[in-house]
Amino acid sequence: MKIICIGRNYAKHIEELGSERPEEPVFFLKPDSAILPKKMPFFIPDFSEEIHYEVEVLVKINKVGKHISKKFAHKYYDEIGLGIDFTARDVQRKCKEKGLPWEKAKAFDGSAVVGEFLAKESIGDLQDLSFSLQKNEAIVQEGNTNRMLWGIDELISYVSQYLTLKKGDVIFTGTPAGVGKVQENDVLIGELNGIKNFEVKIK
């Protein structure tokens, strides 16, 4: 399986990083080795002084597809989850300055937290899903899918023009504002529609 991450999908997050607002979705990949095994802590890697959390709504692809139209995109997923796209922001900044790919900053081991997946029918309007991230019991990120620049179906349609989507692939749909640094002993808790979805300890 592969992990497809959408960048710059919430206006306020684009502002906070001083990034340019894209004219079409930005995406990049993480390998399956990036998935943090369930119940494992996240170990801050030696190569970064600035690991940021990015809480994101996840979509799990349920069958193979390419060139999927927006109209039919809903047939390609039936589960929604929540996760973290851990990012070595200092490394990413250097990659951006040099115009290099982001993999070192984004695709490293443990960089993809994948929470619990829920049947999409059970969670209401997918274009009005609230989600949040707590760090040590304080809310640090709050988002709602109604603020996405491109919605889930548009993202599936867009990405499938370039990549064949396969059963089990996961799309990270982008992070809202409020990204920040983690430190040893932090505890991160993600909530989707007010219900706890995952918990990660930082080591």
- If the CB atoms of residues 85 and 191 are measured against Mg ion, the closer one turns out to be 85
Please provide residue 90's backbone torsions phi and psi, each rounded to the nearest 5 degrees: -65, -40
| Span near Mg ion by CB under 5 A; candidates 53-61, 76-84, 113-121, 155-163 | 53-61
Structure-block tokens of residue 65: 């597809």
- If the CB atoms of residues 76 and 86 are measured against Mg ion, the closer one turns out to be 86
Min dist CB 71 to Mg ion, Å, is 27
Contact status, residue 85 vs residue 114, Cβ threshold 8 Å: no
Tell me: does residue 175 bind Mg ion (CB under 5 A). Answer: yes
Tell me: does residue 191 bind Mg ion (CB under 5 A). Answer: no
Number of Cβ within a 10 Å radius of residue 84: 27
Structure-block tokens of residue 66: 């390419």
Is the Cα dihedral 51, 81, 196, 151 positive or negative?
Answer: positive
| Span near Mg ion by CB under 5 A; candidates 25-33, 77-85, 92-100, 139-147 | 77-85
Amino acid identity for residue 172 in this structure: F
Cα separation, 171 vs 54, in Å, equals 14
Min dist CB 150 to Mg ion, Å, is 14
Tell me: does residue 34 bind Mg ion (CB under 5 A). Answer: no
Min dist CB 153 to Mg ion, Å, is 19
Number of Cβ within a 10 Å radius of residue 184: 10
What number of chain residues touch Mg ion (CB under 5 A)? Answer: 3
Tell me: does residue 54 bind Mg ion (CB under 5 A). Answer: yes
Residues that bind Mg ion (CB under 5 A): 54, 85, 175
